[in-house]
Structure 1
Amino acid sequence: MPIRQTLPKAFAPCILEVERKFRSLAVRQLTQHGGVPPFRSLQALRPQTIRDTYYNDKAGLLTSAGVWVRRRNGAWEAKVRKGGDFTNSQFEELREVGDIAACVERITGQGVVRAGEQVGERGQKENFGLVTMADFVTTRETWIADDEFWIVRDRMDFGHEVGEVELQKTLEGKKVGEAPSEEEKRAEMQRMDERITEFMKRYEWAFAEGKPVGKLTAYFKMMGRTPSGSSEAR
């Protein structure tokens, strides 16, 4: 196994994610030759069961700033919106506990780590000082189309369904040891978004018309309450 070079944390590549949501599939089951033109290739992955717990600060500053912190099947994640809107979203994804803690502190002003403490242990123990705003289970079906486009259909345990087409890319800086700039991130995400648009137009037979409703929006409607901040999230 080759030895991977570990970059300084400040210069680590970032994970960019661009997605376009759709209300539901227009076909009962997605297959390679289910419409015209057919997918160039289509690989069905094994269905997943996902337990998501979403967190927010009491004032709703995180979601208002376009940041969604969640614990998915026990692993912490944070989505930081970089552009687009609910249906057409562009995110930078944070997976390191230390990065999530720093993001929470920057937006809310509440420190979650004291000097000398282990950020991973403290962050997980105290949930970064955040409170639970939603908790539900999703059954996810996933296909990889044309070798790189991820098509996802999510069905939540409270009866809601929504899907998305997604591209993800790990972006490094132009120079070795240099983090990608915000301008580089925006330019790359714009290219990714254009490619998704072309993909969905080419295979429009696969996607039902109509406005998609996000998981959290549907969840809070079901619960009969409105969260602080924005509820539109992936």
Structure 2
Amino acid sequence: MTNISKKCILEVERKFRSLAVHHLTKTSGNPPFKSLLSLPPQKIRDTYFNDKLGLLSSSGIWIRRRNGLWQAKVSKGGNYTNSQFEELDDMNEIADCVKRVTGLGRGEEEGFGLGIMADFMTERERWMADEEFTIVRDEMDFGHVVGEVELQKEWVGDGEEGKREEMRRMDLRLKGFMKRYGWAFDMGGEKEVEGKLTAYFRIMGKSPTDF
């Protein structure tokens, strides 16, 4: 019997409140980036889904439809500011993930049996720094701005321990990157950086199960 290893995307990210410079360029601060490529801006429509009991969100599983495409982000560690995720875009894997946590056995055509907990538009500015770190600045239509630095890697395999170890290494590299180029990022001081969903629920006066 052939053993087929699963493929997924591992992502680590660290949030920042805003850029600390007016225009982000390779030489905006010292030390300068080794390289900095400005990427085309994006307009993103995100619709986030949850079950009525909030089992998915409380388990750190975020099901969303981004510009019409279904995705699942499964938390593998960290917190709201410094996060580690496994990303899924295969419909069967997303359905299995939802069913495993909620018991709901619906398919994509029924929205996996979930309800809409958040829906908003984002205007995103993007840069690729040092050839592998993605810097983004997101401005949402409900009046919130937040930034992230992301590092992604395609992973093939089944072992959870291997995934965790790889993400730990990725997070250390990301932490070192942000420390080296600290002049570029406003971390918000003592106040924790507020992510987009947390801000959405606060500003809209909702909770993850209000639908």
Q: TM-score, normalised by structure 2?
A: 0.94
- Identify the match of residue 179 of structure 2 among 201, 208, 211: 201
Structure 1 window deviating more from structure 2 (209-218 vs 54-63): it is 209-218
Deviation at 1:180, TM superposition (A): 3.5
Instruction: Find 1:171's aligned residue among 155, 172, 176.
Output: 155
- Structure showing greater radius of gyration is 1
State the percentage of identical aligned residues. 63
SS state at 1:14 partner: strand
2:82 corresponds to which residue?
88
Amino acid aligned to 1:55: F
> Secondary structure, in 3 states, of the residue corresponding to 1:11?
coil
Distance 1:40 1:180 in 2: 35
- Give, as a single letter, the amino acid of the residue that structure 1 aligns with 2:193: P
Q: Which amino acid aligns with 1:92?
A: E
Do the aligned residues in 1 keep the contact of 2:75 with 2:85 (CA within 8 Å)? yes
Aligned amino acid, residue 109 of structure 1:
G
Aligned mate of 2:63, from 66, 69, 72: 69
Question: Could you tell me which residue of structure 2 aligns to residue 42 of structure 1?
Answer: 36
In structure 1, distance between residues paired with 2:187 and 2:103: 42
1:155–1:9 CA distance, 2 compared to 1 (3 A): farther
CA gap 1:224/1:194 in 2 versus in 1, 3 angstroms: same
Q: Distance in 1 between matches of 2:36 and 2:29?
A: 13
Give the conservation status (yes or no) of the 8 Å contact 1:167–1:196: yes
Q: CA deviation at 1:10?
A: 5.0
Counterpart mapping for 1:14-29 below 5 A: 14-29=8-23
Q: How many angstroms apart in 1 are the aligned matches of 2:194 and 2:65?
A: 21
Task: Say whether the 8 Å CA contact 1:53–1:135 is kept in structure 2.
Answer: yes
Unpaired runs of at least 5, structure 2 = none
- Letter matched to residue 227 of structure 1: P
Match of 2:207 in 1: 226
RMSD: 1.5
CA–CA distance in structure 1, aligned partners of residues 200 and 4 of structure 2 = 36
Partners of 1:21 and 1:10 in 2: how far apart? Answer: 35
User: What is the letter of the counterpart of residue 145 of structure 1?
Assistant: A
User: Normalization by structure 1: what TM-score?
Assistant: 0.85
Match of 2:196 in 1: 215
Partners of 1:26 and 1:152 lie apart in 2 by 13
Aligned length: 206
Q: Partners of 1:226 and 1:110 in 2: how far apart?
A: 21
Larger proportion of strand: 2
